[in-house]
Amino acid sequence: MNEAHLDKRYSSFVIGLLILFPILINSVKILGNMILLILVILGLYIAIAEKKNPFKIQELKVFSWIAVGYFFIMLLSILIADGFDARFVSLGRKAHFLLAPLIALSIYQIDLPFKNILLALKAGLIIIGIVVMVQFLLGSSRPSGMINANIFGDIAVAMLFLSIVQVFNEKPKEQIITFIAAVAGVVAIFLSGSRGSWLSFIILSITFILLVYKPFLMGNKKNQLFLVLFFSVLFGFIGTQTDAGKKITNAVVNIQNWDNGDQTYTSSGIRMEMWESSLEAAKNSPWFGYGYRNSNKEVSKYVDSHNHTVAAFTHLHNEYLTNLLAGGLLGLVSLLVMLFVPIVFFYKNLKNQKTYYYASAGILLSIGYATFGFTHIAFGEEHVNAFYIFMLAFLLPRSMGSNEVS
């Protein structure tokens, strides 16, 4: 990375911010957002004082165009649908994407070893694990620190899989810390009670095995046996010591009942009703949608008139349908580009041993966020956007560069 012209005080300060961010984002979200604001200011200073343009720097321009493009496409769609009466508060929560190039520029200037970021993620997992355990012992049914349980579970899932991406390349002492952090993360995820996060956990477990663990599985029966035993013990614990198994079973039964026309008033039934109604509403305004202000009102026209619970919901519990209803196909495509185009670039760089772990972590991050959107609106929360932008700004340029992982 380009650090040569930056003095040590700047470098040390930014490195401190970068390390603090993963520790704070899922426990004290306002401090995480404050760190990003400081990075924006520093990025603006670099852009003006040193005449650096993130849209012209090879390693930054892909990230910059994806992030800013998503913001402006959603803005355009909403203005077309709502005019100047639009609900800009909802769009304001996506301001991180507009500011992303400046965040990336400030991070790009620092030669920060990957292991330092991983250590910060592990510290964050241990902290939230302790917080959740304390809340659970004090009687909380869905402990999740000081934020929404679903959002908490999602960020914990992302932190968990990013923190273990280099585990087989670590020293024994580092692996012990990784193991403790992973256990804390798993506890936090499943005690949060977020079924969407549990689904993401399963999908990312499979992705992790294929990306990172596969080389250690090939032709090695001991590692294969360890993998089977690990997941057997893990899911056995989850099924017997938490209500995860019961919730998953209830969700499957509720969906089956909804499909048969019964019990649409359960949590799963309400979601299925909303999603079906959303697809019907989308047919009447497919290109630019209805804007944030009118989306729910349009969906309610297609909901069963007896199901007042659905009409009372403030959002659709699905990232893809929300973008489709608010911004039409244009909004949906912009979301898909932001989630899946980085995966293409990360995948291309898996063959480079120097950037393999950056690319693997990037794929886990992007797939994780793609799955978060299945059951709620991940990008509707500022600190969720902040974590995605922060990690993507760190990983994508480095996966495209030539610096070795250290």
DSSP 204-256: HHHHHIIIIIHHHHTT-HHHHHHHHHHHHHHHHHHHHHSSHHHHHHHHHHHHH
What rounded mean pLDDT belongs to the chain? Answer: 80
Give the separation between CA 158 and CA 387, rounded to whole angstroms.
Answer: 9
98 or 6: whose pLDDT is higher? Answer: 98
**Average pLDDT for residues 204-221, to the nearest whole number?**
77
Residue 59 lies in a domain: yes
pLDDT digits over 12-39, tens only? 777 788 788 877 776 666 777 788 888 8
Tokens representing residue 332 in the block = 């949906």
pLDDT at 337 (0 to 100)? 92
Domain-embedded: residue 20: yes
Within-domain flag for 256: no
Confidence class of residue 218 from pLDDT cuts 50, 70 and 90? low
Q: State how far the Cα of 32 lies from the Cα of 256, in Å rounded to an integer.
A: 41
Q: In percent, how much of the chain has pLDDT > 90?
A: 33
Q: Tokens 């063959």 belong to which residue?
A: 351
Going by pLDDT thresholds of 50, 70 and 90, the confidence category of residue 81 is confident
- Nearest-angstrom CA–CA distance, 401 and 399: 6
Between 45 and 269, the higher pLDDT residue:
45
pLDDT surpasses 70 at 172: yes
Q: Name the band, by pLDDT with cuts 50, 70 and 90, for residue 230.
A: low
Nearest to 96 by CA among 317, 336, 394, 387: 387
DSSP 3-state assignment of 289?
coil
Query: What pLDDT is stored for residue 184 in this prediction?
Result: 92
> To 10 degrees, what angle do helices 319-348 and 58-82 make?
160
Lowest mean pLDDT among 213-217, 271-275, 368-372: 213-217
The answer to whether the beta carbons of residues 24 and 120 sit under 8 Å apart is no
Distant-in-sequence, close-in-space partners of 208: CB < 8 Å, separation ≥ 6:
161, 164, 165, 364
Classify residue 180 by burial, with Cβ atoms within 10 Å: 0-12, 13-18, 19+: middle
Q: What is the rounded CA–CA span in Å between residue 44 and residue 253?
A: 53
**155: containing domain:** 8-246+318-400
Q: Confirm whether 120 is domain-assigned.
A: yes
pLDDT score recorded for residue 402 = 47
Tell me what pLDDT residue 343 has: 95
51 in the Ramachandran plot: left (φ > 0), alpha (ψ -120 to 50) or beta? left
Averaged over 46-63, what is the pLDDT? Answer: 90
pLDDT of residue 312: 58
Secondary structure tally for the chain: helices H, strands E: 18, 0
Q: CB–CB of 363/211 below 8 Å?
A: yes
If one counts every other C-beta atom within 10 angstroms of the C-beta of residue 194, the result is 28
Residue 283 lies inside a defined structural domain of this protein: no
Q: CA geometry: angle at 236 spanning 232 and 239, to 5°? A: 140
The pLDDT-based confidence of 346 (bands split at 50, 70, 90) is very high
The confidence score (pLDDT) of residue 165 equals 93
User: What span, in angstroms and rounded, lies between the C-alpha atoms of 23 and 180?
Assistant: 15
297 CB-contact burial (10 Å; exposed 0-12 / middle 13-18 / buried 19+): exposed
As a whole number of angstroms, the distance between CA 164 and CA 166 comes to 6
CB 281 within 8 A of CB 239: no
- Both tokens of 225, joined, read 């046996």
- Distance between CA atoms of residues 119 and 177, nearest Å: 9
| 151 within a domain of the structure (yes/no) | yes
pLDDT value at residue 198: 86
pLDDT in tens, 347-365: 999 988 889 999 999 999 9
Q: Give a yes or no: residue 270 inside a domain.
A: no
Query: How many domains, in total, are found in the chain?
Result: 1
Query: Among 41-50, 171-180, 200-209, 257-266, which is the least confidently predicted range?
Result: 257-266
**pLDDT value, residue 191:** 87
Domain membership flag for residue 95: yes
Determine the pLDDT at residue 258. 47
pLDDT in tens, 256-276: 454 555 555 566 667 777 888
* Mean pLDDT within 82-103: 75
Q: Are 356 and 350 in contact (CB under 8 A)?
A: yes
SS3 334: helix
H/E stretch holding 50 reads none
224, pLDDT greater than 80: no
- pLDDT tier at 4 (50, 70, 90 boundaries)? very low
- From 3, 108, 43, select the one nearest 401 (Cα to Cα): 108
Q: What is the pLDDT of residue 354?
A: 87
pTM of the model: 0.87
Distant-in-sequence, close-in-space partners of 138: CB < 8 Å, separation ≥ 6: none
